[in-house]
Structure 1
Amino acid sequence: MSTKPEHRVQGVDHAAFPTFDPAATVRFYRDVLRFPVVHSICAAGWGPEKHPDFIHFFFDIGGGDRIAFFYYFGLEQTGDADAPGDSWARLPEGTPQYFVNSRHLAIHVADEDDLLEYRRRLDESNWPVEMQVMHETIESIYTHDPNGYMVEITRALRAVTPQEDLDAELTIDALIEVAEGDSPSLEKLLTRKAELIVQRAAQWAADHEAATR
């Protein structure tokens, strides 16, 4: 008999939102609020729908929680982003479903047993699991609540490494440059990221040598 309580979740893993201005988003959360970038995912052709290429990036907001953003390359902004009461966040008619679903709440559980338990509960309800996905470092199940909001329940597959934190830093630095240029694309982001790796390699080598003396 299981000794685990009925309530198995361990708080918010991340809350996610779309952005049309990733450079400003990074400056606000990373540079002004000092929330470090802790993970990023560059994706091409991902998803059950026909997605544009996108980047999904995460900031550490303390207590093991994160806030995350999606930037979709080539997606034009709609509405008036300068009018908070009537902005693109209201999702005008015709907004792509992947953009709607990018605004979601992800709740963390400890292990596979807990994830499967929540899958069982959902599948026996009026809101069954719509998809189960293995991401880079997590496994997640998804459904929509009675209000139409997407809810994700997720477990870690492994710890994120310091090397992946460094990769996220490089990715975001490249994203800022590309997003502020003409016709941003995932290909341009990855090209610029490769250039940054080459530029910074000598300094990394020097830092490693100094640390190992």
Structure 2
Amino acid sequence: MLTPADLDELARNRTRLRDEHLRTDDRPASSARGLHHTALICADVARTIRFYQGVLEFPLTEVVENRDYPGSTHFFFDIGNRNLLAFFDLPGLDLGPYAEVLGGLHHLAISVEPERWEHLRGKLDEAGVGYVLESGTSMYFTDPDGARIELIADPLGEMYDLVVL
């Protein structure tokens, strides 16, 4: 457990990082065009489609063979703003359950309109998916394979009344 002194030191470090690296007045444009897709691994393609398309209402846009692993399925969901959420199944590999590891996924935050947020909350209730509400605009739950998903009712580029873009 972190002590109050540890927390104070970590806060000072965040302030130092912000002061040294955050560019506010002269921030250049990003070299990237945007997020093409984020790819996760699933155990069951049909179950994943039922969850993301059926419960979360993200339209399935394509299903193809994974070019890097014969027999594997690579499939995509539209999550708005020309962004995609992709999945692979990896048949024949003995993969363990979801785990947070360095360099791994902590959670995937997807922005939805406030009225859609309430609608999807009801769909999660109907599907028996438990969730945790945070700050009135964030809802955290796990997908069928244990990946942590956040539906956030804040606009893109904002989080909890803070402009982050």
Whichever structure has more helix as a proportion of its residues is 1
TM-score by length of 1: 0.32
TM-score by length of 2: 0.40
